[in-house]
Amino acid sequence: MNAALDSFESALLTRLREQVEQPPAVRPRPSRRRLLLGSATVAAAVAMVVIVPGLGTAPAYSVQEGNSGTITVEVRRLEDAEGLEALLAKSGVRADITYVPDGQQCAPRRYTPVDRRLSGMGISMGTNLLRVTLPPGTVRDGERFVMAVSGVAVPPSTSEPSEEGVIDGGGFSGWADFSVTAGPVQPCRIEPSTVD
C-alpha cells in the first residue's frame, strides 16, 4: 500500500494534490499559471526562445527549442497561423497551421499521415493554452507538421461529470487534428464540431 513511488508517480501525486488543494472554481486558471512557470524554468536553460508579441498582453504564441532538440509550441490565442508557421520554419520545422473558427473542425482526410509511429509528439490543452511537443526527428526533411485547431472558452461547471468521466472544470474546450505528412495538404473544409 505504501510502496515507494518512482519519480513519475511522485510527480503525478503532487499534481493531483494541487487539483484538490486548488479547485478551478476557487482559483481560476491554475493550469496556465503552472505551465507558464514551467516554461520560464525551461527558458533559462535553453539556447533559443522566440516570442512573437500579439495584440494582448501575452504573446499569441511562442516556439521554444530545448537542449535536447525538442520543440515546444505554446498557443494562447488562435490568431496569426502564418506567423506561427514562419516561426516554426526558423526552428527548421515546415508546418501547415489552420485555426478553425467557432469550435468547428476540418473535414477528415485533408492529407495522408506518414506511415510511422510519431513517438513523443503530443498536444495538450489547458486553460487559455495549447501546447504542442515535437521531439527531435518528428518532422523530417521534405515533411510538414500539420495542425488544425479550434477551441472555445468554457466557463467552470459545477454539473456532474459526463458519462465518460470527463471533468469539466472550465477552461478550453476544443478540437485538434495534428500529424506529419510528406504529401500535399488540402485546404480545410469546415464542418460542424463532432466533439461533445
Partner 1 sequence: MDTIEGVAAIGRDPDALEAFYREHLEAVQRFVARRVQTPEDAADLTAEVFLAAIHASRDYRGDAAAPRAWLYGVARRVVASHHRSTGRALRAAHRIDARELLDEDATDRIVARLDSQRAAREVYTSLAALPERQRSVVELVAVDGMSLVDAAAALGISAGNARVLYHRARRRLAHSLSGILPDPAEVAP
Name 96's Cβ contacts closer than 8 Å, sequence gap at least 6: 85, 111, 144, 145, 146, 147, 185
Q: Which is nearer to partner 1, 19 or 90 (CB)?
A: 19
| CB 125 to partner 1: min, Å | 4
| CB 131 to partner 1: min, Å | 7
| CB 47 to partner 1: min, Å | 20
Contact yes or no for 24/169 (Cβ under 8 A): yes
| CB 196 to partner 1: min, Å | 7
Using only the alpha carbons of the chain, give its radius of gyration: 18
Q: For the chain, where are the alpha helices, taking DSSP H only?
A: 7-21, 30-45, 81-90
Q: Are strands 71-75 and 61-65 parallel, antiparallel or unpaired?
A: antiparallel
Give the C-alpha separation, 119 to 138, whole Å: 8
Q: Which is nearer to partner 1, 31 or 61 (CB)?
A: 31
DSSP 184: -
Give the C-alpha separation, 109 to 144, whole Å: 15
Q: Which is nearer to partner 1, 79 or 168 (CB)?
A: 168
Q: Which is nearer to partner 1, 11 or 89 (CB)?
A: 11
Binding site for partner 1 (CB under 8 A): 1-3, 5-9, 11-13, 15-17, 19-21, 24, 30-31, 105, 119-120, 122-127, 131, 133, 154, 160-161, 163-178, 194-196
Name 151's Cβ contacts closer than 8 Å, sequence gap at least 6: 78, 103, 125, 130, 172, 173, 174, 175
Q: Which is nearer to partner 1, 21 or 102 (CB)?
A: 21
Q: Which is nearer to partner 1, 60 or 149 (CB)?
A: 149
| CB 15 to partner 1: min, Å | 5
| CB 112 to partner 1: min, Å | 14
